[in-house]
Structure 1
Amino acid sequence: MRIRRLTTIAVAAVALLLGLTAPAMAARGSGPVPFAAQAEAAHLTSAQTDSLRAEVGRIMATTGGRQVALNKIELNGQGDVLVAIPGEAHPRDFSSPSGVLSDPCLEGPVHSGYFCAYSGQNFGGSEIKMYSCQSYGIPWDGNGSWVNDQTPGTKARFYRNDGSLLYTTPAPYASNRNYSTWTNVHTIRPC
């Protein structure tokens, strides 16, 4: 009896911390679902929500970090991964009424300090915003794109799985709308 009561209290506390509603928890039937309220507010279908959650989990396995929103992974204060709903051109901002994310790499050649890698061509799909001088895992295959909008003179380096250098970008402001070798890129060091 005491264990069941403590379990109920623990589940309620986790739900409260995650901002979940009782209907969202009951709809899934197996306990709290992280960020369910964001999925409901965005009117995502169950299939879209499940697909997005699976993609976030897959990307976190490569990049690390912690999930801080339905489609956002924070990389220990060193950058973010923003995951697009599969089939959509760009990630959404689930915390904004407009749902539109600002992208520091695409706001023009103002040297935002970021290097951004995109899973799709033409700066589309999911995005990793890199800010610090460290290695970032790349979870994508196939064609994508990138923007180097770091401080003047800074070049990003792409590395293979064996640690050998694959490519060095030009200094900012530089971009590639159709980078065709994400399959060969294991990590990027944006400095």
Structure 2
Amino acid sequence: MLVAFAVPTPAAAAPVGSFTRQALYAGLSRIQANELQGKIDNYIQTYGGRQISANQVEFDGGLYTATVPGELAVRNLSAAAAVDNCTYAAPLYSGWFCAYRAAGYQGDILQWYNCGRYNMPWGGTGSWINNQTQGTPAYLLNQNLSVVNQSFAYAANLSFNWTPVWYVDVCY
């Protein structure tokens, strides 16, 4: 008599999306890649936009670039877009205003190129660079649309309190 036994097979690994593959190829661990994707998914769900690389979201008027979990500065995980359009690597008067989640031009970056009013999603100590065309203003506004800070390109602030800022007006 012949008896057949079903041999359990290991569960198939979850399929890896192209942005996760990109993150893994860039040297991130699976945990870092998953946490990074969570940050990107959360940003898109809250503010909208379209993911263009493992750590970047393109939205009308600009870019959001997320840091890799456990790292202080953003890094290029693809050639989809420039990582930072405001710091020393960018040309002077590049046309961008960049807001950094942490002081010293560190942490996640919001970068705006198109004129408009944009939500500021974080508080605490961060930094910013106004690298728009020469003399172009940027206004940081509170919840009542009163000016908290204004600058004219080129200007920068290495340590800035984002807490009272609810909106950023670029090139008004």
TM over 0.5: yes
- Structure 2 match to 1:186: 166
Matched, 1:126 2:112: no
Shift of 1:34: 5.0
- Structure 1 match to 2:3: none
Alignment coverage as a number of residue pairs: 157
CA RMSD of aligned residues (A): 2.1
User: TM-score scaled by structure 1?
Assistant: 0.73
Which letter maps to 1:113?
A: G
Correspondence for 2:73 among 90, 95, 101: 90
* Cα contact 1:83–1:91 (8 A) shared by 2: yes
* Cα contact 1:62–1:139 (8 A) shared by 2: no
- Structure 1 match to 2:31: 47
- Are residues 171 and 47 of structure 1, via their aligned partners in 2, closer, same or farther at CA, if it must alter by over 3 Å? same
The structure with the larger Rg is: 2
Shift of 1:186: 2.1
For structure 1, the 5+ residue unaligned runs are 1-25
- Are residues 34 and 150 of structure 1, via their aligned partners in 2, closer, same or farther at CA, if it must alter by over 3 Å? same
Shift of 1:57: 2.2
- Structure 1 match to 2:4: none
User: TM-score scaled by structure 2?
Assistant: 0.80
For structure 2, the 5+ residue unaligned runs are 1-11
More helix by share: 1
More strand by share: 2
Which letter maps to 2:66?
A: V
Runs of 4+ that moved beyond 3 A: 31-34
- Are residues 59 and 185 of structure 1, via their aligned partners in 2, closer, same or farther at CA, if it must alter by over 3 Å? farther
